[in-house]
Amino acid sequence: MERKGKCVYFCPAIMASLSAIWVVLVLEVDVQPIGPQGSLVGLASINAFFFSLLGVNILWYHITDWLGIAAIMVAMAFAVTGLVQWVSRRDVRKVDRSILALGAIYVITIALYVFFEKNVVNFRPIIMPGCTKPEASFPSSHTMIVCAIMGTAKLEWRRRVSNCRLRRLLEGFSVGIMAVTVIGRSISGAHWFTDIVGGILISATFVSLYHAVIA
């Protein structure tokens, strides 16, 4: 039993290591001034290739913005569930462990978002409408946040929803939101390829950690 407990944390440890390695690669390898206003970009050759291949589509940027709002609404629903349990049971320790774990994942995700906004790894490949300079772009915060919320929601719904048809519908909704967000953000041109990959790796770390905690 103890061995099984240790094994469930192997995947999040691997994903966290891959995320850290990816950050180092973006910071140190093939750094060139290919961004707007000569901003430096890591893994420049790969990023330039995909940016040239996919181009810019601002419509998809706005579509994925709305998907992000949908994901935040899901997170708020779980937060309300936790609050109701806390009030009704009069003790935060009596709130379902999986709900508390979701809250912890949300807090960590927000903290990491703020960290990368303050400690810029890459700037956007384009200057967004209404802005005068490129904004922080790594990791793709939309990809990271949406995949973290919907990935953990998928696991929580699998545990919490007993109706098979509804459970499958909710799980499919989760996968669909994540897939469209990743694809849409990639073809929007608002992020470099490495930013999208970074968002996926970091969110996968959070989801695998959540899975380990509730296992």
Give CA separation, 35 vs 57, 121, 142, in Å: 17, 12, 20
d(CA 51, CA 66): 23
d(CA 122, CA 103): 28
pLDDT, tens digit (0-9, with 9 covering 90-100), for 201-211 = 999 999 999 99
Nearest to 128 by CA among 56, 75, 80, 68: 56
Q: Which two tokens stand for residue 104?
A: 């912890």
Q: What's the predicted TM-score (pTM) here?
A: 0.90
Cβ atoms of 29 and 177 closer than 8 Å = no
Q: Tell me the pLDDT of the chain averaged across its residues.
A: 92
Cβ atoms of 142 and 185 closer than 8 Å = yes
For 32, phi and psi rounded to 5 degrees?
A: -140, 155
Q: Give the domain extent around 55.
A: 2-214
Please check the confidence at residue 3 and state whether its pLDDT lies above 60.
no
Let me know how long the chain is.
215
pLDDT, tens digit (0-9, with 9 covering 90-100), for 130-172 = 777 888 889 999 999 999 999 999 999 998 898 999 999 999 9
Residue 32, classed as helix, strand or coil, is: strand
d(CA 73, CA 173): 13
Q: Which residue type is seen at 27?
A: L
Q: Please tell me the total count of domains within the chain.
A: 1
For 123, phi and psi rounded to 5 degrees?
A: -95, 160
